[in-house]
Chains A and B, each alone.
Chain A
Amino acid sequence: MKRKSHYPYWFMLPAISVFFVLFIVPTLASLYFSLTIWDPFEARFSGFENYVQFFSEPFLVRGVVNTVGFAIVTCVLKTILGLLLAVLLTSGVWGQGLLRSIVFFPVLVSTIGVGLLFQEMMHPTQGAINVALSWIGINGPGWLTNPSLALFSVALVDVWRGVGLATLIYIAGLATISPDYYEAARIDGATRLQQFWRVTVPLVWPATTTVVMLSLISGLRLFDLVWAMTRGGPGFSSDVLASVIYKQYQSGFWGLSTAGNVILFIMIAVIIAPLTYWFNKREVES
């Protein structure tokens, strides 16, 4: 005879069933559907055809490469800028609180709003950015019209929008470092730069882990900003996996779209798993 627990598992039933039906089932189903030629009417098994296509059609390959590039560039920029901003905004400068709010606010604003706004500001001739550049004698580029620059421009806007979150996480991380370490380092005669490299960077490592992971994952998954600013254009030059998935879905190539989704899972797993391992190891060692 066993008494019932006071924490019954059925408490989790509503949440878990919603999660299971609307997240786990589609995720598992995607593994099958990615192996089919699937349109709104039928799904026909086709083996690895979709995957082969993904890695042979140049515009699809472009999407995969762009996704990785975009994630790495935004991740690096957010991490470095986030740490520097956090150091600045915890050093007791004048107006620190307001500055933090200013840097953070874009995180909360509609991505579509931000995308459309920058689309206008990056207009090649009339856009505010190029007009401002012309005042100092620079002939600004076609930020979103130049195929080799479009994705990078989107990345810059993504950093503009997301650096506030990285900063916030770093500020929380810096707050956990005891001032004793800096005092000890000062007594040992460390310069400010040495303090940054020898004390701040190692001790803020858990925050770095978080910032890198979060920005990589969100970079790999990004859709709305690209869609609002370029729709993957000009041509396919700024397509990322998420926009390819949407375009293929819209054109009725559901199997191909789903294969893109599976490639995105795998890519996230392949990039995140070793990183997690490496970060945790460094964390334990230091």
Chain B
Amino acid sequence: MKRRQYVIGAVSFAVAFVIFVIPFIFVVINAMKSAAESARLDFRLPQKWQFWQNLTDVVQARDYMLLLAYFNSTVITVGAVTLLVIFGALVGYVLQRRPSRFSSFVYAFVLTGLMIPPAVVPTIWVLQEINLFKTLHGMILIQVAYGLGFTVLLYRAFIASIPRDLDEAAIVDGARPLQVFFRVILPLLEPVTVTVIVVQSIAIFNDFTHPLYYLPGRENVTVQLTLYNFQSQFVSQMNLLFMNILLVTIPPLIVFIFFNRQIVAGMTSGAVKG
């Protein structure tokens, strides 16, 4: 490597560090301070390190609400992502394998979901009509509806790369349509499925807007909602607010470390098609 590239790299690092890393360091430092220290909002290292104390305080706050929130968010994320994988793969499969006017119509419809924002109040009205308002399963189905466009886009593109001969070989072997899908196609979708799971999990776990509308009520809190609500509660306890921010930042960080490649694949392949 040329000297120039070292210099540019080092300078970029310095800049990126200030802009992108320091804010996270700020969170970490303040999450470990006492309430009085953290109220000064500065970068000084804590005089008294109280990581565990802050952690237990946050977890115990408002009657262990954070644990409930993690539970709810996990249920919603796991439920919605599971359905998205199966539903999305089925739709992508039929749309790719059976080109027709009906298929193009369905595809165009599903893709509108990528562009048009949901009409929130009428959605609440619909949810009330079918008794799903303020319920976790209602929220799961909402996330399925909103995530479907992106998921179908990814699956359809990937399935196009699986030769049709495979389906036909299975058909000649006597496989019925569902068997062709579950025994031949689905196992081959593993790479794109990992991408879908990772990208959608992060999106759904981080979603704030839709739980805010569709999941009001204390027993339904999600992680993002508690974070938001704690803000007003913790005005005098910045350390706990930062501890809470730290807690919501760690799951994506772990996922990012392990699934960097799949995230990049998903973000770009979905996007480049537009």
A and B touch in the complex (CB under 8 A): yes
Within 8 A of A (CB), among B147-202: 148, 152, 167, 171, 177, 180-181, 202
- B126: chain A residues within 8 A (beta carbon): 21-22, 25-26, 29
**CB of B58 within 8 A of chain A?**
no
A113 to B110, CA, bound (A): 30
CB nearest to A173 among chain B residues: B272
B258 at the A interface (CB under 8 A): no
Q: Is the CB of A6 within 8 A of B119?
A: no
B274 adjacent to A210 (CB under 8 Å): yes
Kindly provide the distance from the CB of A261 to the nearest chain B CB, expressed in whole angstroms: 5
Chain B count of residues within 8 A CB distance of the other chain: 91
Residue contact A11 to B93, C-beta cutoff 8 Å: yes
Report if A106 contacts B (CB, 8 A): yes
Q: Is there a chain B Cβ closer than 8 Å to A41's Cβ?
A: no
- A143 interface residue per 8 A CB criterion: no
Task: Count A/B pairs, Cβ under 8 Å.
Answer: 256
Which of these, B1, B9, B10, B227, contacts A113 with CB under 8 Å? Answer: B227
Is there contact, CB below 8 Å, between B177 and A105?
no
Most buried by A among B227, B231, B268: B268
User: Helix, strand, loop or mixed for chain B's interface?
Assistant: helix
A45 to chain B, nearest CB (A): 15
B43 (CB) vs chain A CBs: closest residue: A128
A172 adjacent to B16 (CB under 8 Å): no
> Do the beta carbons of B117 and A11 come within 8 Å of each other?
no
Report the Cα distance A104→B268, complex, angstroms.
Answer: 12
Contact of A268 among B115, B119, B228 (CB under 8 A): B115
State the B residues within 8 Å of A (CB): 1, 5-6, 8-10, 12-13, 16-17, 19-23, 26-27, 40-43, 83, 87-88, 90-91, 93-95, 97-98, 102, 106, 109-110, 113-123, 125-127, 130, 141-142, 144-146, 148, 152, 167, 171, 177, 180-181, 202, 206, 208-209, 212-213, 223-224, 227-228, 231, 238, 241-242, 245, 248-249, 252-253, 255-256, 260, 263-264, 267-268, 271-272, 274
Q: A residues touching B (Cβ–Cβ < 8 Å)?
A: 5-9, 11-12, 14-16, 18-19, 21-27, 29-30, 33, 38, 88, 91-96, 99, 101-113, 116-118, 120-121, 123, 126-128, 131, 160, 165, 168-169, 171-173, 206-207, 209-210, 213-214, 217, 220-221, 223-224, 227-228, 242, 245-246, 249, 254, 257-258, 261-262, 264-265, 268, 272
